[in-house]
Structure formats: structure tokens, C-alpha cells
């Protein structure tokens, strides 16, 4: 696995990409993100007592960035990982970078997005809107750099956990319609997903027992792999409804509802649950859809 970092520089109004040392990040926007007045990269919170292994939680993100994990033997596929955190924080390891070894081994390059958190989001604005903008910009950025990163622009998908899964579910049916105004040539690229893996997507069902209004399965929706647990407080019924909508529209989809395992497990096993096997279920699905190397 190769981890690279690239930072943005702004020169005479043009957005230029420059190679940086390993471990640095790529900022998603050339300057401030839409609607922002600050460029803070976020505050990493101390781990909770007794967590083993610890979990990273980042708050107050105003300048979104991606960590890049390129496959040693890329097959052209790429995945943008959208961690969870209830929009108040982002969990970039347990629900982010820990997916990279698995996907890289399948020839898939990985881009973990630290999207904006909701400290300054007005009550009139949906909490998912700014993360959606960041995700769409990231998809465009990957396609813009497809040659350098050995990515096929038609094989760029998303892996969303919890709140990131809510964003990914909305993105999945957005029909490539951008949630922000074009700012540069990067935004001429497609901002849609070619496939989605939705892992315990958070609150995608409304109080009336229906999918959120912004999730609209259609015949043109891409393939989806969906995972939930029966005992998740963020009900698996939303995932079932999304699967049913895709099934009705004859869109290839696979749904796994485990009896137990709760919420927030990310890439880690849970005691007395089979939920840790979900990547093993996802691997043949990725291979069937020619996303993963057999």
C-alpha cells in the first residue's frame, strides 16, 4: 500500500496540484469550502477511557481533506470512504483508513474523506448538505486526477458508514446533480458514484416510516451493497426500504441484515456477533461487478 499526500496551492487564481511528502493530505477545495468563513482542519479529540484499540474522533472541520491510499496493483477502481460521527465529528480510522488494507489488496485505491462537521451549520440547512458537497468534490477530484492515480473514471464509488452512509445514500440516488456551483475545471467532472457500499446508514428513514425525501431510487441508480444489524438503534428498516426501492427499479443490490452487532463497528469485529464478516460478504460482490480484482 502506498500512501501519498498532495496539497493545493493557489497561484494567480488557478488551482494547482503539487506533490507533497508522505503523510500529508489533499485539501478538497482550493480555498474555503462553499459557505465557510474559516479553514480549520479540525480538532482531534482525546480517546475515550478504556477504548482498546482507541478510536480517533475529529471535530470542528471547516477545511475538508482526503487521505490517499493507492493500491500497489491498481485495477482502476477507487473508493471514497465517508466515515461516521453523527455529523458532529468524523471517525477517520475505525470507519475510514482501516478499510484501506482490505480494499487495496483487491486492487482498489482508497480516499478517506474528512468532511465538514456541523458546528456552524444553520438549523435551516440539512446536516448532510456540506458533507455531500465535499463528497461530490472529492469524486470530481479523483476523476480529474485519474491518469496520475491510475483510476478508471467510470469505476469510482463510495463506502459510507453511519452518518457517512446517510450522505452516501443521498449521493447514490442524486443522479449526478451537484449540490454546489461550479468553481473550476475540476467541477466539469462527473460528481456521481458508480457504486456504493452503505454500512449501517444512519437515519435514512423519516418519522413517517419512509425513506428520506432526498433518497430516490431510480432505474438509473448504480449498484449497491448494504449492511445493517437488527439491533441497531438507527433502524435497519431504512436500509430495507432502500433495498426495496432499488429492487423495484431492477437495480443490482445486495442487503445483509445481521441479527446483532449494534452500530458503529466500522471495520472491527464485535464480540458474540458475526458482523465482522461483512467485508467477506462484500468482496465477492465487488468482484462480480468487476470492481475488485479476483
Q: How far apart are CA 193 and CA 278, in angstroms?
A: 21
The residues that bridge with 19 in the sheet, in sequence order, are: 6
Confidence of residue 26 (pLDDT cuts 50, 70, 90): very high
Output helix, strand, coil percentages for the chain, rounded to the nearest 5. 25, 25, 55
Cell of 184: 473550476
Question: Is the distance from CB of 204 to CB of 217 less than 8 angstroms?
Answer: no
Return the C-alpha cell found at 275: 458482523
Q: Which residues contact 221 (CB under 8 A, 6 or more apart)?
A: 172, 173, 246, 249, 251
What cell does 187 get? Answer: 467541477
State the residue for C-alpha cell 438503534: 233
As a residue count, the chain comes to 294
List domains and CATH numbers for the chain: 2-288 (3.40.50.1820)
Each residue's pLDDT tens digit, 165-203:
999 999 999 999 999 999 999 999 999 999 999 999 999
Listed residue (286, 222, 114) closest to 278, CA to CA: 286
Model pLDDT for residues 55-81, shown as the tens digit of each residue: 999 999 999 999 999 999 999 999 999
Rounded to two decimals, the pTM is 0.91
Residue 41 has pLDDT above 80, yes or no: yes
Residue 11's pLDDT is what? 27
Strand partners, 257: 228
Residue with cell 446517510: 166
At residue 18, does pLDDT exceed 80? Answer: no
Q: Identify the pLDDT of residue 25.
A: 85
Residue 3 has pLDDT above 90, yes or no: no
Torsion on CA atoms 271, 243, 75, 68, rounded to nearest 10: -60
Amino acid at each position: 500500500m502506498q500512501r501519498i499526500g498532495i496539497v493545493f496551492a493557489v497561484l494567480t487564481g488557478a488551482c494547482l496540484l503539487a506533490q507533497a511528502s508522505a503523510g500529508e493530505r489533499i485539501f478538497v477545495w482550493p480555498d474555503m469550502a462553499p459557505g465557510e468563513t474559516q479553514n480549520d482542519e479540525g480538532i482531534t479529540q482525546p480517546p475515550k477511557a478504556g477504548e482498546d484499540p482507541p478510536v480517533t474522533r475529529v471535530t470542528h472541520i471547516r477545511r475538508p481533506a482526503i487521505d490517499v491510499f493507492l493500491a500497489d496493483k491498481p485495477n482502476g477502481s477507487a473508493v471514497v470512504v465517508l466515515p461516521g460521527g453523527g455529523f458532529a465529528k468524523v471517525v477517520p480510522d475505525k470507519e475510514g483508513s482501516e478499510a484501506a488494507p482490505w480494499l487495496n489488496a483487491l486492487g482498489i485505491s482508497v480516499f478517506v474523506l474528512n468532511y465538514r462537521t456541523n458546528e456552524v451549520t444553520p438549523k435551516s440547512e440539512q446536516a448532510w448538505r456540506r458533507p455531500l458537497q465535499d463528497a461530490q468534490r472529492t469524486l470530481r477530484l479523483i476523476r480529474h486526477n485519474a491518469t496520475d492515480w491510475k483510476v478508471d473514471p467510470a469505476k469510482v464509488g463510495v463506502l459510507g458508514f453511519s452518518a457517512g452512509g446517510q450522505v452516501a445514500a443521498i449521493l447514490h440516488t442524486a443522479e449526478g446533480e451537484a449540490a454546489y456551483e461550479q468553481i473550476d475545471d475540476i467541477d466539469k467532472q462527473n460528481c456521481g458514484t458508480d457504486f456504493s457500499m452503505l454500512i449501517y446508514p444512519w437515519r435514512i428513514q423519516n418519522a413517517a416510516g419512509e425513506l428520506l425525501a432526498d433518497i430516490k431510487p431510480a432505474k438509473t441508480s448504480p449498484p449497491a451493497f448494504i449492511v445493517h444489524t437488527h439491533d441497531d438503534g438507527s433502524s435497519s428498516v431504512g436500509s430495507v426500504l432502500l433495498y426495496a426501492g432499488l429492487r423495484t427499479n431492477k437495480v443490482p443490490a445486495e442487503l445483509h441484515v445481521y441479527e446483532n452487532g449494534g452500530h458503529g463497528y466500522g471495520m472491527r469485529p464485535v464480540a458474540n456477533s458475526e458482523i465482522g464478516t461483512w467485508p467477506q460478504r462484500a468482496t465477492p460482490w465487488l468482484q462480480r461487478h468487476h470492481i475488485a480484482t479476483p
